[in-house]
Chains A and B, each alone.
Chain A
Amino acid sequence: MFDDLRDLYQEVILDHGKHPRNFRHPPDANREAKGDNPMCGDRLVVYLKVSDQGIVEDAAFLGKGCAISTASASMMTEVIRGRSKEEVMALFRHFHELCTKDEEDRGEPEAIDPDALEKLMVLSGVRQFPVRVKCATLAWHTMAAAVDGDTVVSTE
């Protein structure tokens, strides 16, 4: 019945959706922000531990969301850990293009770790489903707000 959805709901996504990684509140987190998508009811909190040198030493999240937003949050926490704030924001920009633009319309990739990009590719199926793009990007917007020190993000 749902064959056309295998692009969107790839096995990796279903797995992260069901068993999210870093689904916790680290006691030593020094940044956090809330994300809310009132249209569909996704809500999450992203926790970061950012070092004085600006390195994201730990990333985690808690919340309730659909398979896409949960998987995206889970994968995000994995790929951003250990990276500098600048690298993380470059990844966000790239990920956003991945979710919203076809390959030929994307900008020149910045110098980003190809393994991280590869990993995030599985979520690019959302661009066929415009209303679901916000699900995939909610965690990233929230993370960016946490890095910036904002606290509440809404992606309606």
Chain B
Amino acid sequence: MPDLTALAHPIGDALVSSQGYDVEMIRRDFPILGTRVHARSGKPGKPLVYLDNAASAQKPRAVIEAMSRCLEQEYANVHRGVHYLSQRTTDAYERVRDKIAGLLNAGSREEIVITRGGTESINLVAATWGRKFLGPGDEIIVSVMEHHANIVPWQLLQSERGIGIKVVPCDERGVLDLDAYRGLFGSRTKLVAITHGSNVLGTVTPAKEIAAIAHHHGVPVLFDGSQAVVHGPVDVQEIDADFYALTGHKLYGPTAIGALYGKRGLLEAMPPYQGGGDMIAEVSFAGTTFREPPYRFEAGTPPIVEGIGLAAAIDYVRAVGLDAIAVHEHALLERATAGLNRIEGVRIVGTAPGKAGIISFVMDGVHPHDVGTLVDQAGVAIRVGRHCAEPLIERFGVGATARASFGLYNTLDEADALVEAVAGVKEFFA
């Protein structure tokens, strides 16, 4: 049972009841889940079965209300007002830093940089740490499972600085090849930037081991936690992560907000990211000095309302409990996996042990795009394509996949609805 007395705000009805995980109660916290899709004159439409959570998750009422409350009652700019509302807004906004630090078990709130999302968090490291510490001939290690957000920023540095990028392969199940990883280190290896959870395969990578191996070589590690942080508890100290990136909108929070955890020593050694207000200590035309981390990396008016929304989202998932969410999603995953495996001609791409609630699959003779359009008619929302991970799609030689991804509010009936819709697709194209 989560300790709800520890929460600053009431978080709605979604309490894990003494009977266990009460998904029906949780669903009532998400207004959008009552939507019917494809309603047309004379037709009521289909109940929404939302299985595109890895792309973006829906928002609980607690988040929506926290954001409206801010806009309706307590909105002003932050960090710069002497007046009442500015102070109130600043306090509320700064709380998100505490919430993120709590979620990741960071050693201190100053190790949390608030960003506009997972993409910006990684770009920030590439643009500051990377520009300062990487030169021609230096190497970084990524994996074949990366989202483009953890490939392209490094490629930009590659063309700017002439760094080398080495790629850790994975096996047929989507398990990272740790032996190959060990073999990639050399005297010029300066950084490991690797996903903690694949948005395509659902693989959760062994972060602690990855970090230990890198540290053995004296190399820091950045984890792309955009997916991993949603599917189970993460403790950056226990992993011993040097950087950890996350994004708000997959965590049931708003868009355009995310965070970067960075160990204090690393952040302190990094130059600013963007220049502007809020990040400076003193400005004169003779020279400007910059604030301490994390503020040095937060130029300009931040995403205030979004920050307040993210704080509410973190309260929400922690109240439900990340352990409980992981168990629930695992049950959904098993149900859908078993169901899809029973359909002849369907092949699941990504079968790593202990994977998160994400299922990519392909179907003999039917392109994923057609699968997506068809199951959508049954109300089932999934994503199809290359999922911003083209090298990985290439690795599995499939061209594209259909992907269902589960969230904390999905039900076993919805897992069945997916399977039934996919079985229908097969029949349609038979």
Residues of A with Cβ closer than 8 Å to B? 1-2, 4-5, 8-9, 14, 18, 38-43, 64-70, 129, 132, 135
> Which of B386, B390, B400 has the most A CB atoms < 10 Å from its CB?
B400
- The B contact surface, by secondary structure, is helix
Task: Collect the chain A residues with CB atoms within 8 Å of residue B366's CB.
Answer: 67
Contact yes or no, B429 A41, CB < 8 A: no
Task: Collect the chain A residues with CB atoms within 8 Å of residue B374's CB.
Answer: 2, 5
Contact yes or no, B373 A132, CB < 8 A: yes
- Listed by A's residue number, 5 A-B pairs whose Cβ atoms lie within 8 Å are A1-B377, A4-B377, A18-B429, A40-B369, A69-B369
B275 contacts the other chain (CB 8 A)? no
Complex Cα distance, B378 from A32, in Å, reads 39
Complex Cα distance, B385 from A128, in Å, reads 20
Contact yes or no, B367 A5, CB < 8 A: no
Contact yes or no, B369 A2, CB < 8 A: no
B368: which of A5, A18, A38, A41 is its contact (CB, 8 Å)? A41
Task: Collect the chain A residues with CB atoms within 8 Å of residue B384's CB.
Answer: 40-41
Minimum Cβ distance to chain B for residue A140 (Å): 17
Given contacts A38-B386, A39-B385, contact A1 B421 (CB under 8 A): yes
| Interface pairs A-B: 5 shortest CB-CB | A41-B400, A66-B367, A66-B369, A40-B369, A1-B424
- Contact digits for B363-401, partner A, Cβ 8 Å, 1 yes 0 no: 001111110111001100000111000100100000110
Contact yes or no, B367 A2, CB < 8 A: no
Contact yes or no, B369 A42, CB < 8 A: yes
Number of A-B contacts (CB under 8 A): 66
- Contact digits for B254-295, partner A, Cβ 8 Å, 1 yes 0 no: 000000000000000000000000000000000000000000
A64: which of B390, B399, B424, B428 is its contact (CB, 8 Å)? B399
Contact yes or no, B424 A5, CB < 8 A: no
Given contacts A9-B428, A41-B369, A67-B367, contact A2 B385 (CB under 8 A): no
Interface residues on chain B, number (Cβ under 8 Å): 24
B161 contacts the other chain (CB 8 A)? no
Known A41-B399, A132-B369; further 20 A-B contacts with Cβ < 8 A: A1-B378, A1-B421, A2-B424, A5-B374, A18-B365, A39-B385, A40-B400, A41-B367, A41-B368, A41-B384, A43-B399, A65-B367, A66-B368, A66-B370, A67-B367, A67-B370, A68-B369, A68-B370, A70-B367, A132-B373
Contact yes or no, B421 A38, CB < 8 A: no
Complex Cα distance, B429 from A5, in Å, reads 12
Given contacts A38-B390, A66-B367, A67-B429, contact A5 B385 (CB under 8 A): no
Contact yes or no, B429 A8, CB < 8 A: no
- Contact digits for B388-430, partner A, Cβ 8 Å, 1 yes 0 no: 0010010000011000000000000000000001001100110
Complex Cα distance, B393 from A39, in Å, reads 12
Task: Collect the chain A residues with CB atoms within 8 Å of residue B372's CB.
Answer: 40
Nearest to B425 among chain A residues (CB) is A2
Complex Cα distance, B402 from A40, in Å, reads 9
> Which of B38, B370, B399 has the most A CB atoms < 10 Å from its CB?
B370
Complex Cα distance, B369 from A8, in Å, reads 13
Nearest to B424 among chain A residues (CB) is A1
Nearest to B423 among chain A residues (CB) is A1
Complex Cα distance, B400 from A64, in Å, reads 10
Given contacts A39-B385, A40-B385, A43-B399, contact A5 B377 (CB under 8 A): yes
Minimum Cβ distance to chain B for residue A5 (Å): 6
Complex Cα distance, B365 from A118, in Å, reads 28
Nearest to A65 among chain B residues (CB) is B367
Complex Cα distance, B399 from A18, in Å, reads 17
Task: Collect the chain B residues with CB atoms within 8 Å of residue A2's CB.
Answer: 374, 377-378, 424-425, 428
Minimum Cβ distance to chain B for residue A107 (Å): 28
Task: Collect the chain A residues with CB atoms within 8 Å of residue B386's CB.
Answer: 38, 41
Complex Cα distance, B369 from A135, in Å, reads 9
Contact yes or no, B38 A40, CB < 8 A: no
Minimum Cβ distance to chain A for residue B176 (Å): 24
Contact yes or no, A14 B369, CB < 8 A: no
Contact yes or no, B400 A129, CB < 8 A: no
Nearest to A132 among chain B residues (CB) is B373
